[in-house]
């Protein structure tokens, strides 16, 4: 049994939900977040959090501080796919991906870092599409604006991983980016064709975390190999 405490953003469905349930079954104390308030008998607690809303971030941090939450592992999983929202303009669709993956992750992580224990870990769920080394392998001609927005936002998230890893090195808090693989989630309509189940992806992510990779690195959960930035 583990006595460590985990906080995972975006646990209402998909990879976040899978991670929460798997880590809980392994004996971790697991807390989740969701934009829509709900309770879960499977977890130790669920906080209301919309990472695109600064007031929501402030309220969540206040509640976590009041609850004296001290975290060993933070998994920044909350995200948005590349599907176009027809109710938004192209610019608004583009901005939404940055608000979620970059601004939201940044401001939430900056605020919650004081609640992390020494020797803790921060995991940013990213994508290998954001790797500069992978650019030549991407079918550029088939990229929509939303897919490019997704890739650019995840590339920015990776830079934050590197910057934060450097800043927290003295506190011995490790910061990693992890590509979960192409997974059968509802995050994007094309994910129905993905080769990986949520369970397989979750198993790979947890296996990587338990390997304790060096801080400031980027990993592929599918094959357990390090990715180039």
pLDDT of residue 170: 94
Q: Give the separation between CA 92 and CA 212, rounded to whole angstroms.
A: 38
Which domains are present in the chain? 5-227 (3.40.50.720)
**R_g (Cα) of the chain, nearest Å:** 17
Q: Give the separation between CA 180 and CA 198, rounded to whole angstroms.
A: 9
pLDDT of residue 3: 83
Whether residue 188 is predicted with pLDDT greater than 80 in this model: the reply is no
pLDDT of residue 85: 75
pLDDT of residue 82: 75
The residues, any chain, with a CB within 8 Å of residue 4's CB and separated by 6 or more, are 28, 29, 72, 73
Share of the chain above pLDDT 90, in %: 74
Average pLDDT taken over every residue of the chain: 91
**Average of pLDDT values for 214-221?**
98
**What 8-state DSSP symbol labels residue 194?**
-
Share of the chain above pLDDT 70, in %: 89
Query: What are the φ and ψ backbone dihedral angles of 12, each rounded to 5 degrees?
Result: -75, -20
17 and 40 Cβ atoms separated by less than 8 Å:
no
pLDDT of residue 39: 61
Note if the pTM is more than 0.95.
no
């Amino acid at each position: 049994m583990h006595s460590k405490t985990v906080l995972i953003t975006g646990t209402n469905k998909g990879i976040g939900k899978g991670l929460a349930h798997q880590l809980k079954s392994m004996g971790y104390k697991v807390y989740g977040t969701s934009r829509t308030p709900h309770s879960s008998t499977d977890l130790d607690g669920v906080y209301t959090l919309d990472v695109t809303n600064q007031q929501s971030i402030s309220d969540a941090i206040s509640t976590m501080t009041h609850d004296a939450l001290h975290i060993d592992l933070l998994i920044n999983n909350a995200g948005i796919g590349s599907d176009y929202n027809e109710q938004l303009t192209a610019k608004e669709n583009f901005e939404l991906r940055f608000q979620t993956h970059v601004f939201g992750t940044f401001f939430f992580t900056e605020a919650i870092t004081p609640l992390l224990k020494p020797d803790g870990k921060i995991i940013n769920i990213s994508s290998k599409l954001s790797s500069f080394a992978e650019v030549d392998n991407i079918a550029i001609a088939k990229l929509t604006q939303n897919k490019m927005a997704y890739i650019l936002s995840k590339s920015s998230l990776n830079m934050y991983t590197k910057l934060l890893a450097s800043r927290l090195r003295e506190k011995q808090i490790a910061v990693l980016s992890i590509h979960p693989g192409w997974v059968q989630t509802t995050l994007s309509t094309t994910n129905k064709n993905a080769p990986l189940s949520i369970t397989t992806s979750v198993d790979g992510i947890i296996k990587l975390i338990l390997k304790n990779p060096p801080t400031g690195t980027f990993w592929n959960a599918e094959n357990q190999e390090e990715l180039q930035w």
